[in-house]
Amino acid sequence: MCRLLGYVASHPTSVATFTGPSFAEFVKLSQIHKDGWGLCLVDGSHAKLQKSSEIAATSESFANIVENENSSGGLLHFRWATPGIEVNDLNAHPFTYKDVGFIHNGALSPYDALLPEISEEFLSLRRGSGDSELFFLFALTKIEQLGFVQGVLETIRSIKKSYDYSSINSMFLNSDFLIVVSEHHPDNRPSWGEPDYYEVRYRLDGSGCLVASSGWSQEGWALMPNHSALIIDRKTMKGELINL
């Protein structure tokens, strides 16, 4: 299981600056979700990716990147590895392709369930051994067919209909949109997890949108209902919340 954070902003900024003083509280979550960190920043036609199997809270490179790398949109991930899936840089999130970035919290069962659904073009991009990367490659297959927004939504609806999972909470970012998915089975949270473990909340105002997993101070943020998707248009910073 993992922690997710995504943002889109009206002006380039670092993730730490945009999140504000409570960002240090979010970073503390990596002491439990300690199997790697990753940050992708998306501006224009390219996703800039940096990730590591280090613990974010004690990583000098992490501290430097989140304070000093500026972008108008990014995805940040702290990994807690699913049992049986190796801890290494290749399995760390985000996963990227061209201007598309992706992060996921949860697990599909079995891990390789989506293999038959992925086109040969995108399956050839596989580098790791985890289910989340296959989730991403399946999404790229749908995006190629249907476009970014409809491709992501069809990916989620297909998994909901046909596959078993604890959670497919996820975030997708490209140069035009941020899409956040809240889709999970609350009873499948970790044994020590609070009832809100899988909940996703967001802050949307004139400066942009910040969305993140639970476990830290999110006072005044809006709760995304389970079985919903939030779509943020990066040009207008307007959001649409839809049922899945």
Query: For the segment 51-74, what is each residue's pLDDT rounded down to a tens digit?
Result: 999 999 999 999 999 999 999 999
Q: Residue 112 sits in a domain of what CATH number? A: 3.60.20.10
pTM: 0.97
CB 38 within 8 A of CB 173: no
Q: Are 207 and 214 in contact (CB under 8 A)?
A: no
48 pLDDT band, cuts 50/70/90, is very high
> How many structural domains compose the chain?
1
pLDDT band at 21; cut points 50, 70, 90: very high
Closest by alpha carbon to 200, among 175, 227, 174? 227
**Which H or E run includes 102?**
strand 100-105
**What pLDDT score does 118 carry?**
98
CA angle 145, 149, 154 (to 5 degrees): 60
Picking from 243, 221, 213, the residue whose alpha carbon sits closest to that of residue 231 is 243
| CB distance 210 to 5 below 8 Å | yes
What is the C-alpha separation between 43 and 30, in angstroms, rounded?
Answer: 26
**Angstrom distance (rounded) from CA 203 to CA 20:** 12
pLDDT digits (tens, 9 = 90+) for 213-237: 999 999 999 999 999 999 999 999 9
Q: In terms of residue numbers, what domain contains 141? A: 2-243
Quick check: helix, strand or coil at residue 67? helix
